Homo-oligomer: A and B are copies of this chain.
């Protein structure tokens, strides 16, 4: 018994010793990992670094209130509220900062007025009644406001305002019991909040502004582009034409669409922020942000179809080569043209222009769909087992679904282009072609061409956009 206990002790000590000696290595490892992550975080979006510096700057600026004697004499301890406002209100995007600032200012104003009123009413009810009345008011407004915060529409835009409303009302009506200079207090608090809030808003607009509206615009463009990249490459990938040229790294375009699956909440919050933003650059004050959410919803629905297509890539593939050969051309063409249409749509959308080329590509995609349908109708299949054809048929059917979804996306983007007055470019040449229904047949091996494009610049839209532009001239 004793021996085993001492053995255990030795074992425990030894394991501790091992851990202790491994510690410096572990710490060094951890530190280098954190350093790497930090660098990546900054490189992924350098605006993060600027934002941090902006917050530091605004806070140091507002701290002057505390420091300079004349300013301090004016505001006293209330200057604290300016610091607090900067810390709480300064958000990453202009829209979020403006929304919080306005919420805070208006809620403070309203709650201050009501708080003073409540305090006045309570003071009428005598020494004993006063705290009871005040307590009742505080309870009533806190419970009501908290319940109002559950309304989804209010939560989306005015949640912070209601929080500040509860806070200010409670503080003012309660502190009224102690402080007869309640009006002066309210005035000072409002003034300092105004100073802090405007410091935030001005700095966030003037120094490297981050516009939520622009982020939303780019996010949706990127999502549509990712769907396009997937479809553009899917045909080749599924029919394994690229087996010799492919490598694992180039397949990022097959995963990129996944970001569209779960972007709903960020899109909605960006749209909410964007509605607070003043007109900037190519975005007006009443930009149709709601239409953006419609486009986003359709994009997500298309992404669900593509998720089903993606699962086909990993499914066990028992289709015989002969069957694949029959449908390969039309399926690849269908997928490629739909992908091109979405990518051109994304490029034009990103530049806020109306382009007819997505429709040109959609026309080609529809022609491919037609030839796929007639292939499936033909008698080529009589000798084959249905089970063997099924995977290919499923892919064809899902692709046809994806074409439908893509058409809906294009429609909703066109509607958005109309609502937001996108500019029209290079309409004449391509439109004529698409309307005459003649499809281009001169393209030399379009598949390889596209693959090269993807391998060169899988996710850099401007470069693709340039290529799309040059292609358009060729067409």
Q: Is the CB of B167 within 8 A of A52?
A: no
Q: Contact partner of A175 among B66, B387, B393, CB < 8 A?
A: B66
A142 at interface (Cβ–Cβ under 8 A)? yes
The verdict on A397 contacting chain B, using a C-beta distance below 8 Å, is yes
Q: Are B163 and A88 in contact (CB under 8 A)?
A: yes
A105 at the interface (CB under 8 A from B): no
Mark out the residues of chain A between 21 and 60 whose CB falls within 8 Å of any chain B CB in the assembled complex: 37-38, 41-42, 48-49, 51-53, 55-57, 59-60
Q: Which A residues are within 8 Å of any B CB, using their own CB?
A: 37-38, 41-42, 48-49, 51-53, 55-57, 59-60, 63, 66-67, 72, 77, 80, 83-84, 87-88, 131, 134-135, 138-140, 142-144, 146-147, 150-151, 163, 166-167, 170-171, 174-175, 177-178, 261-262, 264-265, 301, 304-305, 307-308, 311, 315, 373, 376-377, 381-382, 385-387, 389-391, 393-394, 396-398, 401
Q: How many copies does the complex hold?
A: 2
A167 in contact with B307 given A142-B59, A393-B389 (CB within 8 Å): no
Of B80, B151, B381, which contacts A386 at CB under 8 A? B381
Q: Which residues of B contact A387 (CB under 8 A)?
A: 373, 376-377
| B residues in contact with A52, CB < 8 Å | 142-144, 146-147
Q: How far is the CA of A52 from the CA of B166 in the complex (A)?
A: 12
Taking the closest CB of chain B, its distance from the CB of A229, in whole angstroms, is: 19
Measured in the bound complex, the distance between the Cα atoms of B325 and A274 in whole Å is 53
Q: How far is the CA of A143 from the CA of B57 in the complex (A)?
A: 8
Q: Which of B60, B150, B167, B305 is in CB contact (< 8 Å) with A138?
A: B60
Tell me whether A72 and B178 are in contact (CB under 8 A): yes
Cross-chain contact A166 with B87 (CB below 8 angstroms): yes
Determine the main DSSP class of A at the interface with B.
Answer: helix
22 contacts between A and B (CB under 8 A): A48-B147, A52-B147, A56-B142, A60-B135, A63-B138, A63-B174, A67-B174, A83-B167, A83-B174, A87-B170, A261-B304, A304-B308, A305-B308, A307-B308, A308-B401, A373-B387, A376-B387, A377-B385, A377-B386, A377-B387, A381-B386, A393-B393
Assess the B304–A83 pair: CB atoms within 8 A. Answer: no
Tell me which of B163, B175, B304 contacts A80 (CB under 8 A): B175
Nearest 9 CB-CB pairings of A with B? A56-B143, A52-B147, A394-B397, A308-B308, A376-B387, A56-B139, A56-B142, A52-B146, A265-B265
Picked from B163, B174, B264, B391, the residue with its CB within 8 Å of the CB of A262 is B264
Set of chain B residues within 8 Å of A41, measured between Cβ atoms: 147, 150-151
